[in-house]
């Protein structure tokens, strides 16, 4: 998420546009380097050869090796085509042409966003990716990993309105009364020995959901899970 916020910051600072593409069936784009076998699926068992297994040629969804195989596939493609992978941001790649123009690409599983300062590089990139992979051109980035993005002449604006509503619905708080300060400042909490034990999984889910809102609402305080 830090990489995505970094790209959005660069877009805002340089008044660029940021675009998005979706890779169809990403995990099916990679041939396996290791030998993987599976039992014949129900309904497709070969008569008189029930004891035989199938050898996979390409990755499948649900296969533990599938995400790594896909990442290896697209990482190899980028590096073979002149892209530089940032050592501390493993999902971020860049490419510079002879005029010094730059193209930045960020990959999250099968969702891809890109930006830069040269429109012709955008078009070349999209054409090359569509040739190599089965992809959908979503054009201007508007919704990515729960973040709503509005790109206007006066700047780029991000929010998580829909995600916030989903969180409220998930924890049955959609009709709760909003308050400016949810907890009294300076209050000291103590353990209530006679109370019922808190569902740790439920609490961690709630805390994690609130933390994700800090992507666009950094003023939300951090919750400890220990």
Per-residue pLDDT of the chain (226 residues; tens, 9 = 90+): 788 888 999 999 999 999 999 887 666 655 666 787 778 888 888 888 888 888 877 666 667 777 777 788 889 999 999 999 998 888 899 999 999 999 999 988 878 999 999 999 999 999 999 998 888 888 899 998 889 999 998 889 999 999 999 999 999 989 988 877 667 777 788 887 887 887 889 889 988 888 888 888 877 765 444 4
User: At 152, is the secondary structure helix, strand, or coil?
Assistant: strand
Q: For the full predicted model, state whether its pTM sits above 0.85.
A: no
Q: Quick one: angle between helices 161-170 and 200-213, nearest 10?
A: 170
Dihedral sign for Cα atoms in the order 79, 81, 84, 86: negative
Domain with CATH 3.30.70 in the chain: 2-29+64-158
Tokens (6 digits) for 132: 């190599």
CA angle 91, 97, 98 (to 5 degrees): 150
Distances in whole angstroms, Cα of residue 146 to Cα of each of 54, 67, 143, 203, 212: 39, 21, 7, 21, 9
pLDDT of residue 225: 42
Contact (CB, 8 A) for 92 and 85:
yes
Q: What is the CATH number of domain 2-29+64-158?
A: 3.30.70
């Amino acid at each position: 998420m830090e990489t995505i916020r970094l790209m959005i910051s660069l877009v805002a600072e340089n008044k660029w546009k940021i675009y998005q593409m979706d890779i169809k069936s990403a995990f099916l784009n990679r041939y396996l380097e290791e030998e993987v076998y599976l039992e014949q699926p129900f309904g497709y068992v070969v008569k008189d050869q029930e004891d035989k297994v199938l050898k996979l040629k390409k990755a499948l969804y649900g296969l533990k090796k599938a995400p790594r195989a896909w990442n290896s596939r697209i990482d190899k493609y980028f590096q073979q085509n002149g892209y530089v992978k940032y050592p501390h941001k493993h999902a971020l790649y860049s490419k510079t042409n002879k005029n010094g123009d730059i193209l930045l690409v960020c990959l999250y599983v099968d969702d891809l966003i890109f930006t830069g300062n040269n429109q012709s590089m955008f078009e070349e990139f999209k054409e090359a990716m569509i040739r190599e992979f089965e992809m959908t051109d979503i054009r201007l980035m508007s919704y990515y990993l729960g973040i709503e993005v509005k790109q206007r002449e006066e700047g780029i604006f991000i929010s998580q309105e829909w995600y916030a509503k989903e969180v409220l619905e998930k924890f049955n708080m959609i009709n709760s009364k909003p308050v400016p300060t949810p907890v009294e400042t300076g209050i000291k909490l103590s353990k209530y020995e006679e109370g019922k034990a808190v569902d740790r999984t439920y609490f961690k889910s709630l805390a994690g959901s609130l933390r994700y809102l800090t992507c666009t609402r950094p003023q939300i305080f951090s919750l400890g899970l220990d």
